[in-house]
């Protein structure tokens, strides 16, 4: 079988228009528009069951969309079966052919397209992923990291327009995962192919991708550059799923100026109007969000020393855990619930121990505003925020 067009080394763009997938009464993906620019590293991030893998499989052609179209480099491929699409996938558990050795696994795609002499290309590709000496081994004789590299090589050798990666690092241990993250990023820069990467690991998405689409319940919650998503989450889900956020229920007292004036927990808070994604007329309810590493603590006795113009919340330290680069405090703030504060360990105030009365304060510019009509807990993933903070601190 020969392909209609010759493989090209540069990537193509992916355009999804109103694409959706329903299984019976369950909607895995709600109608969705998404454009992945050619040559970019794009991540679909979300918890399991959010529709990210289904979206990926629809691009690959392994799943038929219920509605909508898939375009690759401007060509509508919605009706094409997977073997006629210039797209290759790195599967979650690699899906290496157990009956073929590494060499034949990598050569598989070329042979199916009727390429006669595969030797040179296969050897080059095996060198790229540093597996030359392993060519004649069977997949089950390789370690997880090596199998992962074979899966990448097997896909990349076909010079697809788009490479799809379905949780490719999920089966690896943390250290190897970090190493492979950098490795994949290097390969992507080198070959210039468009990468669409599906992951539930927010840290992985932020380290590797140029653009991240956060998915939840079959919808894209927010799309943007990693730093942008982190600094300006548009929903509570994104605020909680990417790192940790303190969300404080508040009411707008005064609108119109550069800053909104809020009333929360019996005190006044300032929020830059430009950073509030919700409607903010006086009397509206909003959620004021702050990242824990942007907050600081002062002992109640030193309350007077807090910088003028900072937002303040009084509270009591409920818990403090020392984790090396920073100390993570949980503050019980009346009317605002529990507040997480991450203090860098530069100068440690010996009085900041559980039970101490403190003032939490932060620069109002670091506050973001969200619509109050959402769950405060959406996207909370337990310990997921902890890793991120190590980098932030």
Asked if 144 touches other proteins (CB under 8 A), the answer is no
Strands 357-362 and 194-199: unpaired
Binding region for other proteins (CB under 8 A) out of 47-55, 66-74, 75-83, 179-187: 75-83
How far is 369 from 380, CA to CA, in rounded Å? Answer: 18
Q: Which token pair is 2?
A: 């020969």
Asked if 98 touches other proteins (CB under 8 A), the answer is yes
Residue 244 Cβ, how far from other proteins at the closest point, in Å? Answer: 35
Asked if 59 touches other proteins (CB under 8 A), the answer is no
Q: Which of positions 113-132 make contact with other proteins (CB under 8 A)?
A: 113
Binding region for other proteins (CB under 8 A) out of 105-113, 123-131, 194-202, 384-392: 105-113
Cα torsion angle, 363, 365, 366, 372, sign: positive
Asked if 23 touches other proteins (CB under 8 A), the answer is no
Long-range contacts of 48-53 (CB under 8 A, 24+ apart): 48/200, 50/215, 50/216, 50/217, 50/218, 51/21, 51/215, 51/217, 51/218, 51/219, 52/198, 52/200, 52/215, 53/92, 53/166, 53/167, 53/198
Asked if 24 touches other proteins (CB under 8 A), the answer is no
Q: Which of positions 150-179 make contact with other proteins (CB under 8 A)?
A: 154-155, 158
How far is 205 from 210, CA to CA, in rounded Å? Answer: 9
Q: Which of 8, 10, 141, 279 binds other proteins (CB under 8 A)?
A: 141
How far is 88 from 125, CA to CA, in rounded Å? Answer: 15
- Provide the strand spans (E) within 24-109: 26-36, 41-45, 67-72, 75-76, 87-90
266: left (phi over 0), alpha (psi -120 to 50) or beta: left
Q: Cβ closer to other proteins: 114 or 324? A: 114
Asked if 138 touches other proteins (CB under 8 A), the answer is yes
Residue 132 Cβ, how far from other proteins at the closest point, in Å? Answer: 16
Q: Cβ closer to other proteins: 57 or 291? A: 57
Residue 72 Cβ, how far from other proteins at the closest point, in Å? Answer: 14
Asked if 55 touches other proteins (CB under 8 A), the answer is no
Q: Cβ closer to other proteins: 92 or 207? A: 92
Asked if 82 touches other proteins (CB under 8 A), the answer is yes
Q: How big is the CA angle at 292 (ends 288 and 294), to the nearest 5 degrees?
A: 85
Instruction: Find out whether 259 and 277 touch, Cβ atoms under 8 Å.
Output: no
Binding region for other proteins (CB under 8 A) out of 78-86, 121-129, 257-265, 353-361: 78-86
Residue 61 Cβ, how far from other proteins at the closest point, in Å? Answer: 8
Q: Which token pair is 341?
A: 């504060």
DSSP per position, 207-233: HH-SEEEEEETTEEEEEE-HHHHHHS-
Q: Which of 12, 65, 109, 385 binds other proteins (CB under 8 A)?
A: 109
Residue 85 Cβ, how far from other proteins at the closest point, in Å? Answer: 8
Site size for other proteins, by CB under 8 A? 32
How far is 114 from 15, CA to CA, in rounded Å? Answer: 29
Contact footprint for other proteins (CB under 8 A):
1, 3, 60-62, 81-84, 87-89, 91-93, 95-99, 101, 108-109, 112-113, 136-138, 141, 154-155, 158
């Amino acid at each position: 079988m020969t392909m209609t067009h010759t493989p090209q080394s540069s990537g193509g763009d992916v355009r999804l228009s109103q694409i959706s997938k329903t299984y019976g009464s369950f909607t895995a993906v709600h109608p969705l528009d998404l454009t992945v620019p050619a040559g970019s590293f794009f991540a679909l991030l979300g918890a399991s069951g959010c529709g990210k893998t289904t979206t990926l499989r629809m691009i690959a052609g392994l799943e038929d969309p219920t509605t909508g179209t898939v375009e690759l480099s401007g060509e509508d491929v919605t009706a094409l079966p997977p073997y006629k699409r210039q797209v290759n996938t790195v599967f979650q558990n690699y899906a290496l052919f157990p009956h073929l050795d590494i060499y034949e696994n990598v050569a598989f795609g070329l042979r199916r397209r009727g390429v006669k002499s595969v030797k040179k290309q296969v050897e080059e590709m095996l060198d790229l992923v540093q597996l030359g000496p392993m060519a004649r081994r069977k997949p089950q004789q390789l370690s997880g990291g090596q199998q992962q590299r074979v899966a990448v090589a097997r896909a990349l050798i076909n010079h697809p327009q788009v490479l799809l990666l379905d949780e490719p690092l999920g089966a690896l241990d943390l250290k190897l995962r970090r190493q492979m993250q950098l490795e994949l990023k290097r390969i992507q820069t080198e070959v210039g192919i468009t990468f669409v990467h599906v992951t539930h690991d927010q840290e992985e998405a932020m380290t590797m991708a140029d653009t991240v689409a956060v998915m939840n319940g079959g919808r894209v919650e927010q799309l943007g550059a990693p730093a942008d998503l982190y600094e300006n989450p548009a929903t509570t889900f994104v605020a909680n799923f990417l790192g940790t956020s303190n969300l404080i229920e508040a009411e707008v007292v005064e609108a119109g100026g550069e800053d909104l004036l809020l009333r929360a927990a019996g005190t006044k808070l300032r929020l830059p109007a430009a950073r509030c994604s919700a409607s903010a007329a006086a009397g509206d309810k909003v959620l004021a969000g702050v990242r824990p590493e942007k907050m600081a603590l002062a002992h109640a006795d030193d309350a007077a020393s807090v910088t003028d113009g900072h937002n303040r919340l009084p509270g009591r330290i409920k818990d403090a855990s020392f984790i090396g680069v920073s100390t993570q405090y949980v503050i019980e703030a009346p009317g605002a619930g529990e507040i997480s504060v991450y203090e860098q360990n530069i100068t440690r105030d010996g009085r900041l121990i559980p039970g101490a009365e403190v003032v939490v304060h932060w620069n109002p510019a670091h506050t973001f505003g969200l619509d109050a009509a959402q769950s405060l807990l959406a996207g909370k993933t337990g310990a997921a925020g902890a890793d991120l903070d190590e980098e932030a601190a």
